[in-house]
Structures are given as C-alpha cells and as structure tokens.
Amino acid sequence: MVKSWIGFGCALDYGKNEFEKEKQNELISRLLKILQTNVIPAYDRLLNILPQDLSNATTDHGVWKLPNGDKYYKLCLEYHTTTNMSPDEVYEQAIEFR
C-alpha cells in the first residue's frame, strides 16, 4: 500500500502563486481527492500485481527468444533506422562511428 504523499507534493507547489488563496485551497482539495480516489488506489493495484508479474520474468532479455523474435527485431530496426541494413550491419556501423 502507498504510505506516503512524498512525490505528489510538487503538484501542490506548481503555479500556487498564480491563484488567490481561496482558489488555491479549492484546487488543493480537488487534487487531494483525485489522489485519494484514483491515483493512490491505482498505485496500490500496481504494487499488488508486480510480485506476480516479476515471478513470470526471465533473466535473459531480448525479443530473440520470442516466436519470430529475430524477424520482429529486424522490422523494428528498419523502422527506427529507416534502413534495410541487418542488425549485424547496424552494429558494425555503430562500432565504426564510436
């Protein structure tokens, strides 16, 4: 469970000199309600899911281990580099420019 508001305080400081005190209090009240009813419960749900999710994680990384992972990686590389170079060619070129 989320036990601290630390980290959310910056939202309270943002633009506080732009409003009259009454408006500041209204906005702070609305912000706290949103934090209590939406944000904090969402973080709590995330914290409850993470241990189970991490238990499914593997120690090796990379899309190569997935079905058609090599093909997927090559397509992503083509998309992000706008070239038709192979992953090895991109790697070699990166080493040359280092």
Q: Which residues have C-beta within 8 Å of that of residue 77, sequence separation ≥ 6? A: 85, 87, 90
pLDDT at 2: 67
Do 78 and 44 lie in one domain? The reply is no
pLDDT in tens, 6-42: 666 666 676 677 888 888 889 888 988 998 899 989 9
Residue 80 lies in a domain: yes
Residue 13 structural domain: 9-55
Q: What percent of the chain has pLDDT over 70?
A: 84
pLDDT at 92: 94
pTM over 0.85: no
Residue tagged 């944000």 (tokens): 39
Residue 1 lies in a domain: no
pLDDT at 12: 67
Mean pLDDT score of the chain: 86
* Residue 55 Ramachandran class (φ > 0 left, ψ -120 to 50 alpha, else beta): alpha
Residue 4 lies in a domain: no
Closest CA relative to residue 86, chosen from 96, 95, 76: 76
